[in-house]
Chain A
């Protein structure tokens, strides 16, 4: 293994090729399976008709299922999986802490609080407006909530133009607990139904994926995914320590600000469109570090691919295991990810101590 992955370029090429093949296979399986049985030939027919713009062939129910439900769902799964995994890698690099995940900077808890707020109090505060805008209010609220809590945390941790990652980590825990308490308070004042909405939302789901969702999430997540590789060198230098990175000519403060804002936007958009999906952000970077080493130039692009794979795979199971019903995806990401992760840790326990 070590010999095979000798150079960075080689590791990146091999890893990317491997993961890309898996993702493509998974995407094909994903488009071909679901509660509605569609023959592989029909899937191919619909996809080619779509690609060639053959309108007549796109009229049937198969086309509707594939193009209005499965394709947007696949794209949303890839985008969100990539966003969560890359955010996890960024946070772990920035905090130099293997336990860091996007939740630590308060995005998830802030988004969850705001979402809970719109679920429970939306009707009372926004009245009839809320009834007209159930598709807008919740995602918008969650996104702004995630962004706001990140900005608050950033402001707390920044003194004299310097951001302390240690303070940010600790304040993140405190703010997360506070947001959790307020969410609990919302659960207390909510009625039976709102409580169930809250619960299901907190388990996450790609159900209800649509082209509109893909179109709103893409401009938020894609630029982050494209920009992330530019932070890799800086994050590598940070592994040595903050002062060392500074002396190597890395604009440490700008790096921190950029990474935190990217995580806030990408995770905020993810949480807003699919609820809270745990475990992807923490497990994917670790898996990759165990396989390909700690170089962020390799880690970040591969995290996007593996995150997309994990979430697409989990979603495939979520919507087929109990069809025509559907499992919340958060249950599956943990159920698939955790045992695999443990197995890997048990096999290669020494790599983490090094």
Chain B
């Protein structure tokens, strides 16, 4: 059994210190919530709880909780979000399990619920309204409704500003999200993928919307997709270089190859759909329409 004294104590963040007066006002509700212990199953939930400064309530996170980086160091890791263990989660004595829709397996989640843990499903909606709604939902659970409201409003304002920028764009570019390039097999983000959502938020056209989800695309499919820009995830500092990417025969024949337009961004930042999403979309827009940035 984990004694509370052994739990990692959260360090006060700059935001928390600045928000100290608000914290004092919230003191009453915090005292009532002293016994709350949350387990987050889904990186976006962890990210939002940290953004709300409520990581003190968090006792466990899943292995997709990569942002902020200290989450993994400070909290117990209950494993991959789709392969949770009932006893593992219960060993942290949580009061609530906040789980994204895909968290599971279903039997395990059912067992956890039967053990008296309140299981709250958090939607994985990648729309602008979905992101704000998710922040408000988690804020209500974590007794941080005011701060969640402020954060959600900030995110909404970010999306509104983004929309203005988007509407001001003269012409739309075609962006191809490449998940991986292995043995010449190019995995792209098709329609209804998270990559598709962020590309559209950034005011671009998903060049791979002929396929659905993350799929390998044939060489001819790549040429037909005719992307102006290739978008990739930055893997541990050394992203695939433009040389490597555009030396692929199929990609070498695309408009993107002519201008060597390759954008590499942090994966979770780009596809997380949390509070940082307006920033991520704006960064993507800037990179796509103003040429690659470091």
Interface string of A30-45 (1 = CB under 8 A from B): 0000111100000000
Interface string of B64-85 (1 = CB under 8 A from A): 0000000000001111101111
**Is B102 close to A, CB under 8 A?**
yes
Residues of chain A within 8 A (CB-CB) of B76 are 324
Number of residues of chain A lying within 8 A (CB) of chain B: 33
Residue contact A191 to B1, C-beta cutoff 8 Å: no
**Is A208 close to B, CB under 8 A?**
yes
**Is A56 close to B, CB under 8 A?**
no
Residues of chain B within 8 A (CB-CB) of A196 are 82
Residue contact B85 to A36, C-beta cutoff 8 Å: no
Residue contact B90 to A36, C-beta cutoff 8 Å: yes
**Is A328 close to B, CB under 8 A?**
yes
Q: Give chain B's interface secondary structure class.
A: loop
Residue contact A65 to B85, C-beta cutoff 8 Å: no
Residue contact B1 to A37, C-beta cutoff 8 Å: yes
Q: B residues 10-66 with Cβ under 8 Å of A?
A: 60, 63
Bound-complex Cα distance A61 to B86 (A): 13
Distance between B78 CB and nearest chain A CB, rounded to angstroms: 5
**Is A349 close to B, CB under 8 A?**
no
Residue contact B214 to A208, C-beta cutoff 8 Å: no
Q: Of B107-115, B147-155, B197-205, which binds chain A?
A: B107-115
Residues of chain B within 8 A (CB-CB) of A200 are 80, 82-83, 105
**Is B158 close to A, CB under 8 A?**
no
Residue contact B77 to A325, C-beta cutoff 8 Å: yes
Bound-complex Cα distance A61 to B115 (A): 8
Bound-complex Cα distance A208 to B104 (A): 10
Residue contact A64 to B1, C-beta cutoff 8 Å: no
Bound-complex Cα distance A37 to B63 (A): 22
Residue contact B83 to A324, C-beta cutoff 8 Å: no
Q: Tell whether A324 pairs with B110 under 8 Å between CB atoms, given A70-B87, A319-B88.
A: no
Q: B residues 211-235 with Cβ under 8 Å of A?
A: 212-215
Bound-complex Cα distance A191 to B194 (A): 11
Distance between A131 CB and nearest chain B CB, rounded to angstroms: 10
Residues of chain B within 8 A (CB-CB) of A193 are 82, 102
Distance between B294 CB and nearest chain A CB, rounded to angstroms: 29
Distance between B179 CB and nearest chain A CB, rounded to angstroms: 9
Q: Pick the contact of A36 from B78, B82, B91, B110 — CB < 8 Å?
A: B91
Query: How many cross-chain pairs have Cβ atoms below 8 Å apart between A and B?
Result: 108
**Is B193 close to A, CB under 8 A?**
yes
Residue contact B83 to A328, C-beta cutoff 8 Å: yes
Distance between A118 CB and nearest chain B CB, rounded to angstroms: 12
Q: Tell whether A36 pairs with B214 under 8 Å between CB atoms, given A135-B110, A192-B193.
A: no
Distance between A63 CB and nearest chain B CB, rounded to angstroms: 11
Q: Tell whether A135 pairs with B115 under 8 Å between CB atoms, given A207-B83, A207-B86, A323-B88.
A: no
Question: How extensive is the interface on chain B, given as a class?
Answer: 35 or more
Bound-complex Cα distance A325 to B92 (A): 11
Q: A residues 307-342 with Cβ under 8 Å of B?
A: 319, 322-326, 328
CB-CB nearest in chain B for A196: B82
Bound-complex Cα distance A231 to B193 (A): 54
Residues of chain A within 8 A (CB-CB) of B93 are 61
Interface string of B155-191 (1 = CB under 8 A from A): 0000000000000000000000000000000000000
Residues of chain A within 8 A (CB-CB) of B291 are none
Residues of chain B within 8 A (CB-CB) of A191 are 192-193, 212-214
Interface string of B233-277 (1 = CB under 8 A from A): 000000000000000000000000000000000000000000000
Residue contact A319 to B106, C-beta cutoff 8 Å: no
**Is A150 close to B, CB under 8 A?**
no
Residue contact B83 to A34, C-beta cutoff 8 Å: no
Bound-complex Cα distance A54 to B213 (A): 54
A-B residue pairs, 8 tightest by C-beta = A325-B79, A208-B107, A324-B88, A326-B85, A35-B91, A191-B213, A36-B91, A35-B88
List 18 interface pairs A-B (beta carbons < 8 Å), by A numbering: A35-B87, A64-B116, A65-B115, A68-B115, A69-B86, A191-B193, A192-B193, A192-B213, A197-B82, A207-B85, A207-B86, A207-B107, A208-B107, A323-B87, A325-B78, A325-B85, A326-B79, A328-B83
Enumerate chain A interface residues (CB-CB to B < 8 A): 34-37, 61, 64-65, 68-70, 134-135, 188, 190-193, 196-197, 200, 205, 207-210, 213, 319, 322-326, 328
Enumerate chain B interface residues (CB-CB to A < 8 A): 1, 60, 63, 76-80, 82-93, 102, 104-108, 110-111, 114-116, 192-193, 212-215
Given contacts A324-B76, A324-B92, 17 further A-B contacts (CB under 8 A): A36-B91, A61-B115, A68-B111, A69-B90, A191-B193, A193-B82, A208-B107, A208-B111, A213-B107, A319-B85, A319-B88, A322-B79, A323-B87, A324-B77, A324-B88, A325-B83, A326-B85
